[in-house]
């Protein structure tokens, strides 16, 4: 491919939904899906775009744009988080809903995929304004949601407090108690133990399984791009579950930082809690975001946003394994380059599926009003992650394809079968 063609392809892949469709198309071609099935599975079943008027603290009103995409419900009610981000778009939500569809399928949990969001900067909103925005979103969507229809959860810049407001507003609108309509809630209103660290725990368990098959030392060096909730728990759990490891570099919105002697994960988490960011750590040398991604480490955890590893920088990646805790951090062009370099990539909708899996556990517990001890949550999550990784790795070996395509082949096969059984196509 010429440089100009590469540039065009990479530019077109900046749209996350086009990335999701390209990834699906590759799997559909290998599976030889019939045209109607392909058309059904590459587009959302339902999507909602709406406005949310909110009374601000100063008395003025401001209008926000909200979204919800219910991508596919052939395997069960749709499930997926709510993102509050200043650059949120309908195409971003579409892509994430598609990935959630494949995520629930690869985990073999009886759910479909959905996603929602609001275009806003929550850091600029007071707590009261956030509550009014959360309740306003729910008033618009309440009639389209439910434990048997569509179940939201927290995602970027949303949290258990916001989920509690939304659940409460849903119950105000419907006049009934429905704890299973929202997951990721505080424990006192029907949340599940084990939800807080579930995304990172599932990813680290995948790393453990991958190391057993690839011969990579799980207690070697690692780096984390994005030190939010998932990144912080990954730093802690990598050491706890894998028996050690040297954390060489981390990054957040305050910058990227490197320590050749390794960071102490507990100290990093405490520093971020106290200071609000990673800057100012002793023994840390600031590096660029690109330098972090190019470090020679055994395991790299991208745990921030989409499209950080692209055709332009994938050739510089020197990690032996990538565990994608973020959604969509690697573009299709980068996948081909990483595969050629022999980098073992644990794709996002497998690596970060621990979050939706424990959310599913919360939905189940809320439905029959009986809640599990933490040991059972961890045990059930580990069993699901081990089985899912084994299914994808087996497909990877049998079909001689990279791990992302293998995950798509597993997931799309299951959803397509549900569609056929229902008689939709």
SS3 per residue for the chain? CCHHHHHHHHHHCCCHHHHHHHHHHHHHHHHCCCHHHHHHHCCCCEEEEEEEEEECCCCCEEEEEEEEEEEECCCCCEEEEEEEECCCCHHHHHHHHHHHHHHHHHCCCCCEEEEEEEECCHHHCCHHHHHHHHHHHHHHHHHHCECCCEEEEECCCCCHHHHHHHHHHHHHHHCCCCHHHCCCCCHHHCCCCCCCCHHHHHHHHHHHHHHHHHCCCCCCEEEEECCCHHHHHHHHHHHHHHCCCEEEEEEECCEEEEEEEEECHHHHHHHHHHHCCCCCCCCCEEECHHHHHCCCCCEEEECCCCCCECCCCHHHCCCCEEECCCCCCECHHHHHHHHHHCCEEECHHHHCCHHHHHHHHHHHHHHHCCCCCHHHHHHHHHHHHHHHHHHHHHHHHHHCCCHHHHHHHHHHHHHHHHHHHHCCC
Which entry of 103, 115, 185, 246 is annotated as an active-site residue? 115
The answer to whether 290 and 258 have CB atoms below 8 angstroms apart is: no
Side-chain half-sphere of 242: how many Cα atoms within 13 Å? 32
Catalytic annotation present for 123: no
The answer to whether 222 and 298 have CB atoms below 8 angstroms apart is: yes
Kindly compute the dihedral angle of the four CA atoms of residues 395, 398, 400, 404, in this order, to the nearest 10 degrees.
0
Angle between helix 90-106 and 354-368 (nearest 10):
80
Structural tokens at position 51:
């406005």
Catalytic center residues: 115
């Amino acid at each position: 491919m010429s440089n100009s063609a590469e540039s065009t392809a990479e530019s077109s892949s900046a749209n996350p939904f086009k990335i999701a469709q390209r990834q699906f198309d590759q799997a559909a071609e290998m599976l030889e899906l019939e045209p109607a099935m392909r058309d059904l599975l590459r587009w959302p079943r339902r999507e909602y775009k709406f406005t949310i008027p909110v009374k601000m603290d100063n008395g003025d009103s401001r209008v926000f744009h909200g979204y919800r995409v219910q991508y596919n419900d052939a395997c069960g009610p749709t499930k997926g988080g709510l993102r509050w981000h200043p650059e949120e778009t309908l195409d971003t939500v579409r892509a994430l809903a598609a990935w959630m569809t494949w995520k629930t399928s690869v985990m073999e949990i009886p759910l479909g995929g959905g996603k929602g969001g609001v275009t806003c900067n929550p850091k600029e909103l007071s707590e009261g304004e956030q509550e009014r925005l959360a309740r306003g979103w729910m008033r618009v969507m309440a009639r389209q949601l439910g434990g048997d229809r569509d179940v939201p959860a927290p995602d970027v810049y949303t949290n258990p407090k916001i989920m509690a407001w939304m659940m409460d507003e849903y119950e105000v609108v419907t006049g009934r108690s429905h704890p299973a309509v929202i997951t990721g809630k505080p424990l006192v209103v029907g949340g599940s133990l084990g939800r807080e660290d579930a995304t990172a725990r599932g990813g680290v368990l995948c790393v453990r399984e991958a190391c057993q098959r690839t011969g990579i030392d799980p207690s070697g060096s690692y780096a984390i791009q994005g030190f939010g909730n998932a990144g912080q728990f990954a730093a802690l759990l990598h050491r706890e579950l894998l028996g050690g490891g040297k954390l060489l570099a981390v990054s957040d919105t305050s910058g990227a930082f490197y320590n050749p002697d390794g960071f102490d994960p507990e100290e990093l988490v405490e520093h971020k809690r106290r200071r609000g960011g990673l800057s100012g750590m002793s023994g840390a040398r600031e590096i660029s975001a690109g330098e972090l991604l190019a470090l020679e480490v055994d395991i790299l955890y991208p745990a921030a946003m989409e499209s950080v590893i692209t055709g332009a920088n994938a050739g510089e990646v020197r990690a032996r394994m990538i565990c994608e805790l973020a959604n969509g951090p690697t573009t299709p062009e980068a996948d081909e380059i990483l595969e050629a370099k022999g980098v073992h990539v644990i794709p996002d909708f497998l690596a970060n599926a621990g979050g939706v899996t424990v959310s599913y556990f919360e939905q189940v517990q809320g439905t029959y009003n009986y809640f599990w001890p933490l040991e059972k949550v961890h045990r059930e999550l580990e069993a699901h992650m081990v089985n899912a990784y084994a299914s994808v790795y087996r497909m990877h070996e049998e079909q001689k394809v990279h791990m992302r395509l293998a995950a798509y082949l597993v997931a799309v096969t299951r959803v397509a079968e549900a569609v056929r059984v229902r008689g939709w196509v």
